[in-house]
Each structure stands twice: as structure tokens, then as C-alpha cells.
Amino acid sequence: MTSINQTSIWIKNPLAIFAENSDGGVVIKGQKIIELVPLGGSPVSSFDEIYDASDSVVLPGLINTHHHFYQTLTRAYPEALNKELFPWLKSLYKVWAHIQPEMLAVSTELALSELLLSGCTTASDHHYLFPSQLENAIDIQAEEAQKLGMRVVLTRGSMSLGEKDGGLPPQSVVQTKEQILSDSERLIKTYHDSQEGAMTQIALAPCSPFSVTTDLMIETASLAQQYDVRLHTHLAETIDEENFCLEKFGLRTVDYLESVGWLSNRTWLAHGIHFNKEEIKKLGRSGVGICHCPSSNMMLASGICHSLELEEAGSIIGLGVDGSASNDGSNMIAELRQAMYLQRLRYGASKITHQKAYNWATKGSAALLGRNDIGEISIGKQADMALFKLDELRFSGSHDSLAALLLCGAQKSDRVMIAGQWKVVDGKIIGKDESELISRHSGAAKKLRQLANA
């Protein structure tokens, strides 16, 4: 531990803050929050520096719990436009099969940078493409996240049910169960940090019922239990998927999940839209968490998650931007606004407040990842924070600053801190040339399209 890491700083008198009893700000020491300062008060702890936050809205760092970073290479892709999930996937699988290691690296760097600038401090990625040239995909992602200093939960995705066995993906992107399980074990041993304040964690994530064999689901669940890591998958995203499960397994999605030993509080699901009342109760009782992905669900016309019924039943709700071919952005603060508005269509405005959206993206998302050291501005938690200024035309004339951030449509944070270190200052990632990154990334995206069309 260097002396720099033990610097203490008072983030003083925020314009607004999403935290209890902290209107006078917070004191950070090293990588943790050590004191909450009440309105008009001064810290009891000593501090080395002051950051004047009087023109900033302070949030706990936002936590994204579902993404596919590589999809930033196929945004607004001509052959995938205006389609729903299955035809959309089929038109993209054959493109994604050509992704090269350097393309995955730059797409990970871009997605993480975009998330960071939108106030996200922890991101989970669901990478499930392992064609022969990409067998080290998760290693590549871990390296990129470490370079940026972002907290990540990299989920080792997998596909084992190809077209020839009745699955959706082409054979070129599926692996055998043995390959998948041994690589999963290797990645857990190499990268998974189970300690408080962990920067890199691994979870296991077979892709979806229509791309994974039953035995892989079962054995992945036992591997996760053996190493105490979390389980993640897509479930109940579309009616096509429900029909697939009924035809292939003779079971609805939740019965299928139960049959493979996944109904537990170790599991969080992406989407979780098409559940009936009994299924919602069952999921809640088992403590299965749900990552709501509003933009993607609207873009692919998949449906609207039953967030409040799931919460009432006992499930935790978090948020995710989903992959950048179905969002097509990776903007976390913008996703909160989408979640709030989409859920209002189902439940009305009074039940879906801006505070609820903030909770989903912070405490809720942290719980989905099995973390209690992040997602909240309180004493002893990691110092992960996102600061936004209301100095753009869109905010002028607003009165409640915390509400304004979502209602007026914030897009970009001014400062972001991860583990007590500033990563974004004045709206820029420290040490990152954005135009150079765009040039490298868009070059990789063009090259991918050429390979796919060759």
C-alpha cells in the first residue's frame, strides 16, 4: 500500500447526493468511504484534500450487470436492423464468428470507456463467443479492464448447442462441454478475487436455453458451487425462447431452469420478461435476481419486465445496458432513465420514482453480483462514485437536482472515482485519447464487416 493510496479527501457540500445523512459530503480514505458529513457539518476525521462538490450531483458508482462488449463492433448493423431476437441473432452470429483478438481488445476498451464516462464504476460482461481464434477472450478482457482500472465481473459465457443439434448458433461458434468447463475452472483460478474490494471477478454464464446443452447447464451449476462463484444466463427474453423450451425440453423456461439446478440466490438472469405468476413466486422464493435491460427490450420488441411483482416475490432487480448491438449504446446513466420510463408504462409514475431507478442501478445491481462492498455511499464501502454537473442547456431551469439528472436526460459524468482514485476528471478519462480510441475501434469494426462479407 503506497502513501498515495491512503490520501484522505473530503468531497464537500454536494449540490445533491444519493445517500443518507451526507448532505455535507463524504470523506474518503484510501479506497474506502470513512465518514458521512451531515448538512452544514465538518468532518470529524482529518483530511488531506477538499474537493468542492457544490455544483455536482453525487451518486454511488453505477453498476452495469449485463453487457456484451464485443457487440460495439456491430452497432446499427445493416443486416440486423428492424428484427426481433432470433432473426437478429441469426444475422449476427456469422459476423461475430470472425472477431479477432485485437478486435475484442479494442471493443472491450471502448465499451468500458463509454460506461465509465456515463458514471459506471463496475461492469459485468457476458462473453459467450469462443471461435478458435478467440479462446483467450476472457484473458483479453481482464487485461483491458485492469488497464482502465475498472471493477469488472467477467462472466465466462458459453455455447454448446449448435444448429446441427437443434440450437440456434452455427457450429463455428460452439465449443464442447469439456472445453468450456476446463476453461471456466482455469479462469476462476487465474482471475477470481473473492475478497472485499475485488477489482476482477469471474462468474459462469452459459448463454441461453437455445444455445446450451442441458448437461452443460447442470455441470456449470456444480462448478459454480464448488468455487463459490455466481451464475448468469439469459432467460425469458422472448416468446420465441419460451416456445423453443416447450418444444425442445417440454418445459417452460423457469421449469427448465429448475430442472438444471439453477434456482438459487447464486443466479442472476438477464431480461426475465415472460414469467407467469407462479414462476415469479418461484423465482422470488429462490432468491434469483433479475437484470432489467430496458433499451434492448424495446429495441428488439421483446417485452417489459415485471419488476415490481418480482421484487415483491423476493427477487432483486438490477440494471444492464445489454450488448451494444441491441442498445446500441453503453450509457449507464441514460439506461436509468429508460428503466424508469419503461417501467412507468407498466406500473404508473407514482410507483416508479427516480430514487427507485437509482436503487436498481446501485444497490440492486451490486446484490446481483453478490457484492456488499459497493453500490452504496455509506461508511466502510468502497469509494466508487459518479459526479455529474448540471451545466448543460438541458438542465437549465430544473429545481430538484437528483430528479433532474434523470428527467432532463444526463449523458455524461464530470468526475468518476473508483476505489478512491479519480478515473474521470472534467468529463475525460485520465490518460485516454478518445479520438484515437474511436479511430482504432471504428477501424476494427470496418475490418470485421469486410471479413464477414468476404
How far apart, in whole angstroms, are the C-alpha atoms of residue 38 and residue 274? 44
| CB closer to Zn ion, 219 vs 322 | 322
How far apart, in whole angstroms, are the C-alpha atoms of residue 217 and residue 221? 6
Residue, CB closest to Zn ion: 322
How far apart, in whole angstroms, are the C-alpha atoms of residue 217 and residue 302? 24
| CB closer to Zn ion, 279 vs 322 | 322
Cβ-based neighbour number of residue 301 at 10 Å: 11
How far apart, in whole angstroms, are the C-alpha atoms of residue 338 and residue 332? 10
| CB closer to Zn ion, 234 vs 281 | 234
Query: At its nearest, how many Å lie between Zn ion and the CB of residue 189?
Result: 26
Residues with Cβ within 8 Å of residue 142, at least 6 apart in sequence: 152, 154, 191, 200
- For Zn ion, the binding residues (CB under 5 A) are 270, 322
Query: At its nearest, how many Å lie between Zn ion and the CB of residue 192?
Result: 22
Query: At its nearest, how many Å lie between Zn ion and the CB of residue 207?
Result: 8
Angle, helices 177-191 vs 137-148, to 10°: value is 20
Q: Using the structure block, give the residue that is written with the C-alpha cell 440494471.
A: 319
Query: At its nearest, how many Å lie between Zn ion and the CB of residue 220?
Result: 17
| CB closer to Zn ion, 207 vs 385 | 207
Query: At its nearest, how many Å lie between Zn ion and the CB of residue 234?
Result: 5
Q: Is 162:174 a contact under the CB 8 Å cutoff? A: yes
Query: At its nearest, how many Å lie between Zn ion and the CB of residue 270?
Result: 5
Write the burial class of residue 103 (CB in 10 Å: 0-12 exposed, 13-18 middle, 19+ buried).
buried
115 phi and psi angles, rounded to 5 deg: -60, -45
| CB closer to Zn ion, 19 vs 270 | 270
220 phi and psi angles, rounded to 5 deg: -65, -40
DSSP 378: S
Query: At its nearest, how many Å lie between Zn ion and the CB of residue 123?
Result: 13
| CB closer to Zn ion, 53 vs 174 | 174
| CB closer to Zn ion, 70 vs 395 | 70
Residues with Cβ within 8 Å of residue 275, at least 6 apart in sequence: 236, 253, 254, 283, 306, 310
Query: At its nearest, how many Å lie between Zn ion and the CB of residue 356?
Result: 23
Angle, helices 177-191 vs 214-227, to 10°: value is 20
Rg (alpha carbons) of the chain, rounded to whole number: 21
Query: At its nearest, how many Å lie between Zn ion and the CB of residue 346?
Result: 21
| CB closer to Zn ion, 129 vs 260 | 129
| CB closer to Zn ion, 66 vs 282 | 66
